[in-house]
Amino acid sequence: MFSKLEEINEKYKVLSKKVSDPEVISNQAEWQKLMKEYGELKPLVEKYNEYKKVKEEIEEANLLLEDNLEEDFKHLVKEELSSNKQKIIEIEEELKILLLPKDPNDEKNVIVEIRGGAGGDEAALFAGDLFRMYSMYAERNNWKVEIMDSNEIGVGGFKEIIFMIQGNGAYSKLKYESGVHRVQRIPITESGGRIHTSTVTVAVLPEAEEVDVEINMNDLRIDVFRSSGHGGQSVNTTDSAVRITHLPTNIVVTCQDEKSQLKNKEKALKVLRAKLYEIEQEKLEKELAATRKSQVGTGNRNERIRTYNFPQGRVTDHRIGLTLHKLDSILDGDLDEIIDNLITVDQMEKLKQGI
């Protein structure tokens, strides 16, 4: 591990000189590429330098203890030595985590699909709640939310909503949200006060650039039609809505949220590109694909990753056995505690498996 850290440290020094070189700076594309790599290595190098500093302090303390010291001073040195030995153990664990291979998609924007599963209108209403939750979480992180397509129901909520979240590291945090989310509450329409259980599926896809996925326009069938709102009434007098069918895979994507046909087409292509990128990722990473498939499921009640229980005000993530009694704040976008725990468990599993 430490020989690898030394190599990274030397690479960081070289990069540090390069990103300060006026000749490199003049080539913005090259400079930005180097700055990205420099920024990725910085936390690891800083942690390694902290490790070396604490290691030196331990060696100095051991040398001091070989001398005839006054008892009070000797006690202070021993205390500092004990503290630094514990610190070294903690830093080593942090270094192991920082050395784990990075998911190449982590820094990407995400396209999120939320669909009502079992539960009819109640599932659609909760799909709306989850959209609001992710929108507020995005706001807390200064990320931008853009609706790609939606299918609203008359009482509020969505049968389906697809939206993009743009922001650094969006995928690294939100990729753990893929799966079936179960809600237990008394629906507004329930006169007898009975608790109902409904499900909503969430799929999180990394945004794919044109360089990631090349789409042959000859493989597409593009249909245009008038946008419609609740109950099918027209909300636009022109054929601005777009439906794209990718003939080789039979994937169908629609977009009607913009008044411009061109903008709807651009959005639909982004969603299609993300879906095709996921298919390619699945081919390359079968194990990851199997995990993702089991998480997303089909919307049945027994295929769940998280439960939101309104009567008890609790949220339980079943993958890590975490229960938090702060339902309201979580639905207001306070997802950090859940996501941080999921990241930690994921990292620990990768360390165990030697990934």
Pairwise CA distance, residues 20 & 179, whole Å = 45
The residue out of 36, 67, 98 marking a domain boundary is: 98
Check if the beta carbon of residue 198 is closer than 8 Å to that of residue 212. Answer: no
Above 50 in pLDDT, residue 79? Answer: yes
Range of the domain at 75: 2-98
| Higher local confidence (pLDDT), 286 or 353 | 353
Pairwise CA distance, residues 105 & 98, whole Å = 16
Q: How confident is the model at residue 321 (pLDDT cuts 50, 70, 90)?
A: very high
Q: Which two three-digit tokens encode residue 274?
A: 């993300």
pTM, two decimal places: 0.72
Above 80 in pLDDT, residue 303? Answer: no
DSSP for 320-338 reads TTEEES-HHHHHTT--HHH
Q: How confident is the model at residue 102 (pLDDT cuts 50, 70, 90)?
A: confident
Residue 355 lies inside a defined structural domain of this protein: no
pLDDT tens figures, 164-212: 999 988 999 999 999 999 999 988 766 677 888 999 999 999 988 776 7
The three state secondary structure string of 92-121 is HHHHHHHCCCCCCCCCCCEEEEEEECCCHH
**Beta strand 196-206 pairing with 179-185:** antiparallel
Residue 344 lies inside a defined structural domain of this protein: yes
Q: How confident is the model at residue 103 (pLDDT cuts 50, 70, 90)?
A: confident
Residue 77 lies inside a defined structural domain of this protein: yes
The confidence score (pLDDT) of residue 232 equals 42
State the angle between helix axes of 71-98 and 336-353 in degrees (0 to 180), rounded to the nearest 10. 90
Within 8 A by CB and 6+ apart from 303, the residues are: 179, 180, 199, 294, 297
> How confident is the model over 254-281, as a mean pLDDT?
85
The confidence score (pLDDT) of residue 171 equals 93
Check if the beta carbon of residue 253 is closer than 8 Å to that of residue 196. Answer: no
The confidence score (pLDDT) of residue 226 equals 76
Check if the beta carbon of residue 198 is closer than 8 Å to that of residue 118. Answer: yes
Which residue in the block uniquely carries the two structure tokens 């009434």?
233
The residue out of 74, 98, 122 marking a domain boundary is: 98
Can you name the residues that pair with 201 across neighbouring β-strands?
115, 180
Which residue in the block uniquely carries the two structure tokens 């099918």?
232
Above 90 in pLDDT, residue 329? Answer: yes
> How confident is the model over 58-66, as a mean pLDDT?
89
- Do 262 and 337 lie in one domain? The reply is yes
In percent, the amount of the chain with pLDDT more than 70 equals 89
Count: domains in the chain: 2
- Do 251 and 316 lie in one domain? The reply is yes
Residue 354 lies inside a defined structural domain of this protein: no
- Do 228 and 81 lie in one domain? The reply is no
The confidence score (pLDDT) of residue 307 equals 95
Which residue in the block uniquely carries the two structure tokens 């807390």?
140
